[in-house]
């Protein structure tokens, strides 16, 4: 594997830097810098998507016929690196990075023609309906029912931990359309409009105080049979295909490297001269470099037509646990100023209904110290969502080690 970028690739990276410098407004940069979780302020994210779409870069990883770019794997990685270095806010992944790939791979021409352009513009904004109160890591245990009724399905049940359910106008759901001895059978992948009678969203307040997730209830709600992706009763294959993109479809190392480097600068004010903390930071940076080498190796394999496949599980484990560790270091460096609950110093990814903003807007310590505990709390979920890391280790043990 050659770790040196070619002259053409370096020129491509410079082009991306120039574009980002032009398009990233101070508000967009602030939205990324002051974000308290993997999800920035919703309006910031959508404003950034509009700008990227105008430049033809909202979804470069899509097939060119759907609005993507015919880039090499190296160009995709460089684009992710420059975006992280520039401090660009993230886009909500459920539509552009997840269900869009499923629609492109398994959808009908009519589904592709209607949904994909609207996902690009943000007119259609998806949330994900996988987990249920009794079906999390054991997703095949899901019970939400979809009963045929003419040209529709009638839906009853609930989904939980649904990110951005309050903002979404569509949800992609795994529903039970029949029962079999094997629970993976009889599951259907269905696109459901949120703005209809029978759909109720109840926000869930996280330990950070934010309401990014919600529980969604379906009481005789309806979805057209034409919104089935793939085949009825055979949605498990579609669901697994989507999880490859949720768990390992992105380059994580560039953003994590920026977080460690930023923390190293910020912590000088509180931890300067502390050799133990300096050692922890150095070890974190080394772990980021190791992750980057693995991502580059997979990038090289992708350039030869190989699939990420089960390695998506390894990337999910490494990236989420490393992100958690970085927030732990930030919390430690924040010191006493990090003990106060100060969401008004940040731009949370959703409403914080329980916070009280001081009349004078005072913030104890620097902004990064106020944000550190919020990011710490949010990252606790990283090793659970998209399939818990324990489940990912089981997958690797079976598929790679043959255990």
* Alpha carbon separation from 155 to 91, 213, 221, 269, 374 (Å, rounded): 29, 21, 5, 55, 36
Report helix, strand or coil for 222.
strand
The per-residue DSSP string of 354-371 comes to T----TT---SS-HHHHH
Report helix, strand or coil for 139.
helix
Q: How far apart are CA 352 and CA 64, in angstroms?
A: 40
User: Which residues lie closer than 8 Å to 236 by C-beta, 6 or more apart?
Assistant: 140, 184, 185, 187
**Can you say how many angstroms the Cα of residue 93 is from the centroid of all Cα atoms in its chain?**
5
- With tokens 């794997």, the residue in question is 73
Give catalytic status of residue 306 as yes or no.
no
Our CA dihedral for 253, 255, 260, 264, rounded to 10 degrees, sits at 140
Whether the CB-CB separation of 153 and 200 falls below 8 Å is answered with no
Find the catalytic residue in 167, 244, 246, 266. 246
User: Which residues lie closer than 8 Å to 74 by C-beta, 6 or more apart?
Assistant: 5, 9, 299, 303
Q: How far apart are CA 308 and CA 302, in angstroms?
A: 7
Q: How far apart are CA 248 and CA 56, in angstroms?
A: 23
Whether the CB-CB separation of 369 and 294 falls below 8 Å is answered with no
User: Which residues lie closer than 8 Å to 132 by C-beta, 6 or more apart?
Assistant: 141, 142, 143, 144, 157, 158, 159, 160
Q: Which residues are designated catalytic?
A: 246
């Amino acid at each position: 594997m050659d770790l040196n970028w070619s002259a053409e690739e370096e020129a491509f990276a410079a082009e991306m830097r120039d574009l980002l410098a032009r398009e990233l407004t101070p508000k967009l940069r602030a939205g990324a810098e002051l974000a308290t979780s993997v999800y920035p302020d919703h309006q910031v994210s959508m404003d950034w998507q509009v700008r990227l779409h105008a430049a033809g870069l909202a979804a470069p990883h899509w097939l060119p016929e759907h609005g993507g770019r015919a880039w090499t794997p190296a160009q995709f990685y460089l684009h992710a690196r420059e975006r992280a270095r520039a401090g660009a806010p993230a886009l909500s992944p459920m539509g552009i990075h997840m269900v869009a790939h499923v629609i492109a791979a398994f959808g009908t021409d009519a589904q592709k023609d209607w949904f994909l352009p609207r996902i690009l513009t943000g007119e259609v904004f998806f949330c994900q309906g996988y987990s249920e109160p009794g079906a999390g890591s054991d997703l095949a245990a899901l019970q939400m029912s979809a009963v045929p009724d003419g040209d529709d399905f009638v839906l009853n049940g609930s989904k939980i931990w649904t990110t951005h359910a309050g903002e979404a106008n569509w949800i992609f759901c795994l529903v039970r359309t029949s029962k079999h001895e094997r629970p993976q059978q009889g599951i259907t992948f269905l696109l459901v409009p949120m703005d209809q009678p029978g759909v109720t969203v109840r926000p869930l307040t996280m330990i950070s105080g934010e309401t990014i997730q919600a529980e969604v209830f379906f009481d005789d709600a309806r979805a057209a049979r034409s919104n089935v992706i793939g085949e009825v009763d055979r949605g498990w294959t579609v669901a697994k295909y989507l999880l490859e993109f949720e768990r390992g479809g992105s380059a994580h190392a560039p953003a994590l490297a920026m977080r460690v480097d930023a923390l190293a600068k910020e912590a000088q004010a509180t931890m300067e001269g502390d050799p133990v903390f300096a050692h922890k930071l150095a070890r974190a940076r080394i772990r980021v470099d190791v992750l980057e080498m693995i991502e580059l190796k997979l990038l090289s394999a992708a350039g030869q037509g190989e699939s990420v496949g089960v390695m998506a599980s390894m990337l999910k484990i490494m990236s989420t646990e490393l992100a958690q560790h970085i927030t732990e270091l930030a919390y430690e460096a924040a010191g006493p100023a990090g003990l106060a609950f100060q969401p008004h110093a940040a731009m949370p990814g959703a409403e914080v209904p329980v916070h009280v903003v001081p009349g004078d807007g005072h913030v104890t310590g620097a902004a990064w110290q106020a944000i550190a505990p919020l990011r710490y709390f949010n990252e606790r979920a990283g090793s659970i969502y998209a399939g818990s890391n324990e489940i990912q280790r089981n997958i690797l043990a079976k598929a790679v080690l043959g255990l």
